[in-house]
Amino acid sequence: MIPKETVERIFDTARIDEVVGEFVSLKKRGSSMIGLCPFHNEKTPSFNVSPARGIYKCFGCGKGGNSVNFIMEHEHITYPEALKWLAKKYNIEIAEEEQSSEQVAKDNERESLFLVSAFAQKHFTKNLHETEEGKAIGLSYFQERGFRPDIIEKFQLGFSPDTWRDLTDAAIAAGYKLEYMVKAGLTIQVEDNSAPSPSERAGVRYFDRFKGRVIFPVHNASGRVIAFGGRTLKTDKKIAKYINSPETDIYHKSNVLYGLYFAKKQIIAEDVCYLVEGYTDVTSMHQAGIENVVASSGTSLTVEQIRLIRRYTNNITILYDGDPAGIKASFRGIDLILEEGMNVRVLLFPDNDDPDSYSKKVSSEELKQFIKENTKDFIRFKTELLSLDVGNDPIKKAGLIRDIVESIALIPDAITRSVFVKDCSRILDIEEQTLLNELNKFRKNNYNKKLSGEARANVVAPTEGFVEDESKVGNLSKGLTTNFNTPKERNIIRILLLFGSTKIEVEHLDEKEQPVKVETTVAELIVNELVVDNINLNHVVFQKIFTEFVSGIEKEIIPEISFFTNHPDESVRIVATDILTSPHYIHDWEKEYFMSNGEKYIASSTSPYELSDWEKHSIFVTVEEQVIKRSAIDAVYSLKLAHTEKIINDINGEIKDATSHDDVLILMAKNIRLLQAKKYFANQLGIVVIR
């Protein structure tokens, strides 16, 4: 474990412009630097680096963060690895902290599992090439499947003879402990009351899990063997065709993709990952010259596997065989990919072929051309496949449309959704607005489900909402938000991040009830105003950031920007970076009340665009730094006004449902006080209250 002091030193030393400058050609523009984004193809620079704040942000693809995030993203490495990368660059010595005896024992056990797995792979490979049974049965099978020697060697394929303890006895003879063979899933332990052999305990027997099978080792992303898949060569239908390693401390099947170690470099180069079903599909595609391919190894695709692919590309193409039932069952996997914001395309092989069999029938160039010409976006593919069952039945067609729209509704990006809605409208010959209405229902229902129960604590409210038709939106080009307070809460957090430590003067009543001016900070003003009225922020991450300011003020410390951009909570880092690098979006009504106070201004400090030569034309703009006290107070009043209106609406509902006359009188008295508060906040903001 890297000591906290060393981590802080790395963050303090690593200059974002120097780190990014090793990979991107940066040019100075004002107080920032700009260059071509290394994470997506672009011709016009949209990648911004702020040395003062220690962060980067691409306004094209949206990626952003600090120096460590950049190295993790660019080099596709873990957080500790990125810290070590930066430590090496800046000659910072890392003296890792001494671990507890429990940590040492756990690490030793994990390493032991890696070691016995590596031994097993070498033993299986040796069996395949150096034993008579291995060559006659295992190697012959691979050769009959058409695998070249270099592919067999590359994937470290092997063979386990049809005997009970070939691997187990070899491992014990080599000095490996039986308990680790069992924990690694290589040896099976069973209770048996028959007479044991000298190497076994009474009542316990041990035998090889993969006996009588050809072996496919499974590697993690760094190339270490962590598990195995074994295929039987027998025709007995009672015997499982494939068996796989069980879950262990080093192997969690939902987090692993077969072939990723051999594919990741080409996935990055091609910017697409081909997803297939099984081991032989991967090896055959490699043999055909297509290396950016991985398999879910027969298991249902998981979110963890999708996110693993996303480390290397945002584009997935699923390669299916011709089995319609199997394809329909896998639609859930497509929806998971869409929900993660990735681009998914689909390819169906002809005549019930799969990637393995089809790659054997055609040349490498023909296979590549076939894939290029026959991949389809998921909507066209899903529509064409499901339309076969629909025919002219209007009820079934309506169900098909809902099925397609439900998938589109999962896509996080509004522009992508809009494009797919237009395609769907054209393909299915249905009004685009009808699809939009149905899509909005699905998105609203999905969001409400996420907010229910325990999931509420882990979900971040979307910053854009459900309205897709811009003609219905008016000036609010981003649509309506689910929580109308989100823009107000975001504004509070923006002011805290940018101006929290700024000194301002406020009026305060002394002991004699006389007004006196007191110096405070923007953060203290906002925090005290919200805490005194017990106001929490609905947006989960905004509340996390606000809580950090509350905690800091209690310790008489105003957290700096770097505290949030380097925060251990990834959601805090992402939101803070986004706020610090995004233009401040001002709704029309906000512009109007700013004007009513006689203080027109724009938030130039957060905009990637700069004003130039305005003064030459006698146009003078007041930047927010000059009116920050007014901005902070207005932000607080705006949020308090919204909270007050919500409480009033809630009480009105209670009045309608009240059965007791006394209860109604109590509620109405509360309402009168709240309406007075509402009028006060509105007056402070220059808003006319109609009722």
List of residues 6+ apart from 158 with CB closer than 8 A: 121, 123, 124, 125, 126, 127, 128, 138, 214, 215, 217
The pLDDT assigned to 458 comes to: 41
C-beta atoms surrounding 164 within 10 Å: 15
The pLDDT assigned to 485 comes to: 60
Q: What is the mean pLDDT of the chain?
A: 80
Are 301 and 275 in contact, with CB atoms under 8 Å apart?
Answer: yes
Q: What's the pLDDT band for 314 if we cut at 50, 70, 90?
A: confident
The pLDDT assigned to 13 comes to: 85
Strand 47-50 and strand 32-35: the pairing is antiparallel
Superfamily of domain 4-89: Zinc finger, CHC2-typedomain (3.90.580.10)
Backbone angles phi, psi at 226, to 5 degrees: -125, -15
In tens, the pLDDT along 497-535 reads 989 888 888 776 666 667 778 788 899 989 888 887 888
- % of the chain at pLDDT higher than 90: 28
Least-confidence region, from 230-234, 371-375, 459-463, 676-680: 459-463
Give SS3 for 63: coil
DSSP 287-318: HTT--SEEE-TTSPP-HHHHHHHHTT-SEEEE
More confident residue, 525 or 603: 525
The pLDDT assigned to 2 comes to: 79
Q: What's the pLDDT band for 609 if we cut at 50, 70, 90?
A: very low
d(CA 328, CA 608): 46
> How many helices and strands (H and E) does the chain possess?
29, 20
d(CA 337, CA 303): 8
The pLDDT assigned to 466 comes to: 37
- % of the chain at pLDDT higher than 70: 82
For residue 488, pLDDT beyond 80: yes
Looking at residue 413, the DSSP 8-state letter turns out to be -
Where does CATH 3.90.980.10 sit in the chain?
Answer: 100-251
The pLDDT assigned to 326 comes to: 62
More confident residue, 4 or 245: 245
For residue 141, pLDDT beyond 90: yes
The pLDDT assigned to 462 comes to: 37
CA distances from 417 to 413, 635, 644 (A): 6, 33, 35
Architecture of domain 100-251: Alpha-Beta Complex (3.90)
For residue 487, pLDDT beyond 50: yes
For residue 623, pLDDT beyond 80: no
Choose from 288-297, 609-618, 645-654 the range with maximum mean pLDDT: 288-297
Backbone angles phi, psi at 460, to 5 degrees: -100, 125
In tens, the pLDDT along 220-240 reads 877 889 999 999 998 888 889
Residue 227 tokens read as 């598990």
Where does CATH 3.90.580.10 sit in the chain?
Answer: 4-89
In tens, the pLDDT along 143-177 reads 999 999 999 999 999 999 999 999 999 999 999 99
Residue count of the chain: 691
In tens, the pLDDT along 3-52 reads 877 888 888 788 898 899 888 888 888 878 898 888 887 778 889 998 87
C-beta atoms surrounding 456 within 10 Å: 10
List of residues 6+ apart from 331 with CB closer than 8 A: 382, 407
More confident residue, 170 or 600: 170
In tens, the pLDDT along 545-586 reads 999 998 888 888 888 888 888 888 888 888 888 888 765 433
Choose from 82-86, 178-182, 238-242, 399-403 the range with maximum mean pLDDT: 178-182
Task: Supply the pTM of this predicted model.
Answer: 0.58
CA distances from 580 to 40, 48, 76, 497, 653 (A): 22, 12, 25, 8, 39
Are 204 and 196 in contact, with CB atoms under 8 Å apart?
Answer: yes
For residue 199, pLDDT beyond 70: no
